[in-house]
Amino acid sequence: MNPRPASVSARPVDEYRGDIEQLLRPLAARSADTVPVPQALGRQLAEDVRSPLDLPVFRNSAMDGYAVRAESVAVAPVTLPLAGVVAAGNAGQNPLPPGAAIKVMTGAPIPPGADCVIPVEDVRAGEDAITVERGRSAGEFVREAGTDVRTGDLLAHAGTRLEPRHIAALAAVGLPSVSVFRPVRAAVITTGDELVPAGSTLHPGQIYNSNGIALAAALGANGVEVVSVAHSTDEPSQFRKLLDAATGAADVVFTSGGVSKGDFEVVKDVLEPLGGRFGSVAMQPGGPQGLTVVDGVPVLSFPGNPVSTMVSFEVFARPILRALAGLPPVDGYRLPLRDEVARSPQGKRQFLRGKLIRAADGDPPTPEAVEVVSGPGSHLVAGMAWADVLIDVPAEATSLPAGAAVRVWSL
């Protein structure tokens, strides 16, 4: 494919992404569901969560050992009479007699009157007494109540996506359920008379529809609930019907195909009269783009070549959708190119498919370079499966030498 100049009206990638993000950002204010903590993994807190109790709930032992008063062992060696045992789970409210020891298990309450714990392995224990070889400081191996968190302290901010460590904290303070945002809901409409579903026999001129399945997978992998995936022929009335169903059910609608300069551009033909802005963004692949608000619902119209669709999703939708879901930002790196990029279109950011090269002996293994995989063509969807990053070739570059530092974005 030849490099071609961007049209004079082509918009910069970042500016167009800014428009999309502005339309999607209000989706941060979604309604909340109450879900049991064990089912809340990966959900996003709708409100700050504060601890309903002190943790530790009570003063307890950090070790299996013997609760004593430090002053009882100030002169050592010394033998102390054994005045009982407190297992974890015991109420442990019998006070420590002066000059005695009480055996305590890890997590068991410290008997009133004791101020330190001597680990079991540091003691010679007899039937009724223990011998201690050296002095101890008050507080040793004692966990004071409230030293992890106090009643009313913040456990996690609103907006936190709940990872196992948050689930552990919520469970430890005994919260049975939490309030989480419902996920962003998306609908997908693919278009094109040439597309047929997997499992069909291909007739001449037909290809399998991958965009619906691929966009649904990409949305699902980025915290979005896909409420419908539909396919429209190039007949405007059919597209319009599917569009109305989609905007009725979803917070955001994604379409693929029908946005370019052909004679049968069903998406553009239907959405432009509804106020849609269609035009070129200065990137390759994924140049032709459309953005419309239909009944208050943003409709993002991506071009139909499979790689164009996926790259459009990565560049324009994935960062904001991840932010809305409380997911960490897309990983980015700045790495040297292993090989030259011989040609890149003047005035367009090119997103090449690339693969990270990791240090063979690194520990941890960190990416040290990136290689281009597959070609630049927007139809090379099988080749894209071998990539793990997009290589972001700047708009002004028409070529890049081997070793040039480039930005890359994890797929």
Q: Which positions from 296 through 325 interact with a second copy, judged by CB under 8 A?
A: 304-306, 310
CB of 296 to a second copy, least distance (A): 28
**Cα–Cα distance, 53 to 66 (Å, whole number):** 27
| CB neighbour list of residue 78: distance below 8 Å, 6 or more residues apart | 72, 131, 132
CB of 29 to a second copy, least distance (A): 25
CB of 344 to a second copy, least distance (A): 17
> Of 177 and 398, which has the nearer Cβ to a second copy?
177
Q: Which amino acid is at 229?
A: V
**Cα–Cα distance, 158 to 326 (Å, whole number):** 10
CB of 145 to a second copy, least distance (A): 11
CB of 202 to a second copy, least distance (A): 6
Site for a second copy contains 51 (CB under 8 A): yes
272 to 301, contacts with a second copy by CB under 8 A? none
Stretch that binds a second copy, among 99-107, 270-278, 339-347, 393-401 (CB under 8 A): 99-107
Assess contact for 352 and 341: CB atoms under 8 A: yes
153 to 192, contacts with a second copy by CB under 8 A? 153, 155-156, 163-169, 171-176, 192
> Of 294 and 406, which has the nearer Cβ to a second copy?
406
DSSP secondary structure string for all residues of 100-159: -EEEE-TTPBPPTT--EEEEGGGEEE-SSEEEE-S---TTTTEE-TTSSB-TT-EEE-TT
Site for a second copy contains 76 (CB under 8 A): no
CB of 338 to a second copy, least distance (A): 19
Q: Which residues of 279-298 are buried (b: 16+ CB within 10 A; e: fewer)?
A: bbbbbbbbbbbbbbebeebb
**Cα–Cα distance, 273 to 11 (Å, whole number):** 21
Site for a second copy contains 84 (CB under 8 A): no
- Which one among 281, 324, 380, 406 touches a second copy, defined by CB under 8 A? 380
Assess contact for 62 and 143: CB atoms under 8 A: yes
114 to 143, contacts with a second copy by CB under 8 A? 119-121, 140-141, 143
- Which one among 7, 34, 79, 399 touches a second copy, defined by CB under 8 A? 7
Residue 182: both structure tokens together: 């419902």
Stretch that binds a second copy, among 17-25, 103-111, 244-252, 341-349 (CB under 8 A): 103-111
Site for a second copy contains 200 (CB under 8 A): yes
Stretch that binds a second copy, among 11-19, 33-41, 236-244, 393-401 (CB under 8 A): 33-41
Which helix (H) or strand (E) segment holds residue 278: the answer is: strand 277-280
- Which one among 263, 273, 296, 360 touches a second copy, defined by CB under 8 A? 263
Assess contact for 286 and 378: CB atoms under 8 A: yes
8-state DSSP, 381 = H
Assess contact for 334 and 324: CB atoms under 8 A: no
Site for a second copy contains 341 (CB under 8 A): no
∠385-218-325 over CA atoms, to 5°? 140
- Which one among 6, 23, 37, 46 touches a second copy, defined by CB under 8 A? 37
